[in-house]
């Protein structure tokens, strides 16, 4: 996915702040008034920063299980053929 800067405005001072995808949902500070802000997650972006890790872990594990099953199957089939 291409890096699309997302712009929002500081609640305190109205400073326009642009963030990149990786910063969605992260805590930061306004560059102007230094107030603590949480970068909003734009509609449709589906909190990429927040859900990326669990999704990756799940899919990686599923891939591992699939590979293990396939390898086991190949092993069993290979053994069977040899025997």
Residues within the interface to Zn ion (CB under 5 A): 10, 12-13, 15, 30, 32-33
Provide the minimum distance between the beta carbon of 41 and Zn ion in the complex, in angstroms, as a whole number: 19
**Eight-state DSSP code of residue 1:** -
Provide the minimum distance between the beta carbon of 38 and Zn ion in the complex, in angstroms, as a whole number: 13
Provide the minimum distance between the beta carbon of 28 and Zn ion in the complex, in angstroms, as a whole number: 11
Indicate the residue among 10 and 48 with the shorter CB distance to Zn ion: 10
What secondary structure, in 3-state letters, does 4-53 show? CCEEEECCCCCCEEEECHHHCCCEEECCCCCCEEECCCCCCCCCHHHHHH
């Amino acid at each position: 996915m291409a890096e699309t800067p997302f712009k929002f405005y500081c609640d305190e001072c109205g400073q326009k702040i642009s963030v990149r995808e990786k910063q969605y949902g992260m805590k930061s500070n306004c560059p102007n008034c230094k107030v603590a802000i949480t970068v909003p997650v734009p509609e449709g972006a589906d909190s990429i920063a927040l859900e990326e890790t669990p999704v990756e872990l799940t899919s990686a594990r599923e891939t591992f299980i699939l590979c293990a099953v396939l390898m086991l199957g190949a092993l069993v089939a290979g053994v069977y053929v040899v025997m």
